[in-house]
């Protein structure tokens, strides 16, 4: 598993990762969600030993990357699927990787089979690969050493819905066999499909974490009515927190039953009433994204 404790990283005065702690557990697919520039790649690069931590620690199965004798047999990493050599075939790419990692080249066929790349496809040059095939090849590369931990930076980037479902099946199977997966995304919709657990990061800090069910359940109610102002006053008068909802209507921190009862008493006709459906996570994420766009450092 991956354990990150009080990890921080500065670039000059800019704090890219700020006291980040989380655990990525065996048997679980953990989604690392945050807008562009939130600090996901920096955290992953530190875990993979490519960027030194400012302070704090990141360990894989209890040891930091540089202290593991043959790291690729513990952690498979995909940080940039477009970084593969375009002139080599997929199979050549993997054979070279296997040799570099000191692994038998027999692992190449296993890894290709795991990501469903056919012999015809793996015999093609990478320059002729679709984005989806590049992602598959990158994941095959990460799986070569039969590691117990997989760490993938934006693996679903650019994949179509079928590709995303394929990835979910692959990662689900891997986690069901006891593996721990950490994958990042800047899209809530991707993470919702693929991950079991979520870590949400914004401006270098963890802002929410928990199981997908916990975070997406939301406790509130979304309500639209003939008179949202009057309803909001009635809800507030009942001592319930109320906020404007994205796209109109209001979001109240109570169950739909309670809100329905208040609307009835206040004689406000409802046009829509439903459970929060993760609206809070979505709103929080939208706010983070907006905030982040304002707070990008100069020249970054
Ligand atoms: N080598 C560097 N020097 C200066 N600033 C950096 C460096 N690497 C990253 N940063 C800054 O740190 C912040 C976090 O970047 P990071 O790449 O970790 O974010 P991210 O969440 O992975 O976003 P993205 O999805 O855009 O890759 C960004 O503002 C970025 O500009």
What ipTM was estimated for this complex?
0.93
Predicted pLDDT at 300:
44
Q: How far apart are CA 213 and CA 144, in angstroms?
A: 32
219-276 and 2-215 share a CATH fold: no
Nearest protein CA to atom 5 of ligand 1, as residue:
11
Strand partners, 57: 5
Query: Which residue ranges make up each domain of the chain?
Result: 2-215, 219-276
Ligand 1 centroid, distance to 118 Cα (angstroms):
36
Ligand 1 centroid, distance to 52 Cα (angstroms):
14
Cβ(293) – ligand 1 distance below 6 Å = no
Quickly state the pLDDT bin for 64 (edges 50, 70, 90). very high
Cβ(38) – ligand 1 distance below 6 Å = yes
User: Does the pLDDT of residue 298 top 50, yes or no?
Assistant: no
CA 185 to each of CA 27, 44, 126, 156, 272: distance values in angstroms, whole numbers, following the listed order: 20, 12, 24, 8, 31
Say if domain 219-276 classifies as CATH 3.30.70. yes
Q: Which atom of ligand 1 is nearest to the CA of 44?
A: 18
Cβ(300) – ligand 1 distance below 6 Å = yes
Strand partners, 149: 75, 180
- 141 contacts 94 by C-beta, under 8 angstroms: yes
Ligand 1 centroid, distance to 179 Cα (angstroms):
28
CA 113 to each of CA 50, 92, 104, 106: distance values in angstroms, whole numbers, following the listed order: 29, 15, 16, 12
Spatial strand order in the sheet of 2-11? 14-24, 2-11, 55-60
User: Does the pLDDT of residue 60 top 80, yes or no?
Assistant: yes
Architecture of the domain spanning 2-215: 3-Layer(aba) Sandwich (3.40)
């Amino acid at each position: 598993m991956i354990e990150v404790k009080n990890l921080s990283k500065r670039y000059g005065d800019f704090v890219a990762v700020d006291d980040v702690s989380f655990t990525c557990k065996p048997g679980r697919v953990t989604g690392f969600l945050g807008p562009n520039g939130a600090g996901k790649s920096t955290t992953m690069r530190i875990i993979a030993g490519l960027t030194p931590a400012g302070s704090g620690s990141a360990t894989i199965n209890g040891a930091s990357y540089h202290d593991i004798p043959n790291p690729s047999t513990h952690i498979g990493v995909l940080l940039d699927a477009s970084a593969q050599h375009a002139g080599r075939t997929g199979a050549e790419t993997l054979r070279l990787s296997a040799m570099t990692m000191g692994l038998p080249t027999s692992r190449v066929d296993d890894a290709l089979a795991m990501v469903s790349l056919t012999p015809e496809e793996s015999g093609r040059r990478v320059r002729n690969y679709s984005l989806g095939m590049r992602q598959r090849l990158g994941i095959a590369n990460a799986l070569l050493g039969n590691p117990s931990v997989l760490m993938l930076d934006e693996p679903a980037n650019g994949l179509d819905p079928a590709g995303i479902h394929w990835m979910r099946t692959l990662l689900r199977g891997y986690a069901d066999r006891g593996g721990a997966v950490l994958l990042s995304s800047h899209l809530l919709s991707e993470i919702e499909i693929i991950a079991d657990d979520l870590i949400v990061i914004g401006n270098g800090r963890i802002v929410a974490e928990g199981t997908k069910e916990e975070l997406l359940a939301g406790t509130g109610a979304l309500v639209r009515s003939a008179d949202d102002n009057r309803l909001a006053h009635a809800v507030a008068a009942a001592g319930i927190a109320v906020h404007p909802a994205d796209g109109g209507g209001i979001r109240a921190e109570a169950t739909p039953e309670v809100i329905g009862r208040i609307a009835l008493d206040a004689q406000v006709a409802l046009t829509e009433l439903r459970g929060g459906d993760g609206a809070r996570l979505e709103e929080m994420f939208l706010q983070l994204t907006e905030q982040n766009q304002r707070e990008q450092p100069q020249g970054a």
